[in-house]
Amino acid sequence: MNHTDKAQKYFSNNFNCSQAVFTTFATEMGLDEELALKIATTFGGGARKGEMCGAVSGALMVLGLKYGHCHSENDEEKGRAYQISEDFMNRFIQKNGTVVCRELLGYDLSEPEDMKKIKELNLFKTTCTEMVRCATEIVDEMIKELG
């Protein structure tokens, strides 16, 4: 199963966008599935406030896990990690126009009336599924490019 299919499977099995993207890759990088799911839980739905898309947060955590800065004296490592993050963000924005959850959905899930509309329009199954797919594909592309 490829990463996109795996992420879609997590997402369709009642895990949020951040959990779906992060856990898909994190388990392959040695993180326990349960721990990965727990770490990513609170980032879904733009941290429940419609801020940064959870699929984006999950993707950035994957890239941090793979290429992150962990040596205090290594500014090159830190700079590379930041550049990788910026590259991901630019690619996602180029494809979707924004990384902000409420802008992607067109509604603010932190507002009860907007949440009703999101559910009525089935945006979690349409828009959010697409954001999970997009974020996963970008991470895949970047890992192939960066090694």
Say if CB 58 and CB 11 are below 8 A apart.
Answer: no
Token output for 130: 């697409």
One-letter amino acid for residue 4 of the chain = T
Dihedral sign of CA atoms 99, 104, 105, 111 in order: positive
What is the rounded distance in angstroms from the CA atom of residue 69 to the CA atom of residue 126? 35
For residues 13-40, give the mean pLDDT: 97
pTM of the complete model? 0.96
For residues 18-40, give the mean pLDDT: 97
Question: Percentage of the chain with pLDDT > 70?
Answer: 100
Over residues 91-106, the pLDDT tens digits come to 999 999 999 999 999 9
pLDDT of residue 122: 96
Say if CB 77 and CB 69 are below 8 A apart.
Answer: yes
- Residues 6 or more apart whose Cβ sits within 8 Å of residue 6: 24
| Beta-carbon count within 10 A of 93 CB | 13
What confidence category does residue 79 fall into, taking pLDDT thresholds of 50, 70 and 90? very high
Say if CB 42 and CB 61 are below 8 A apart.
Answer: no
What is the rounded distance in angstroms from the CA atom of residue 94 to the CA atom of residue 144? 19
Over residues 123-132, the pLDDT tens digits come to 999 999 999 9
CA nearest neighbour of 25 among 43, 10, 14: 10
- Residues 6 or more apart whose Cβ sits within 8 Å of residue 127: 104, 105
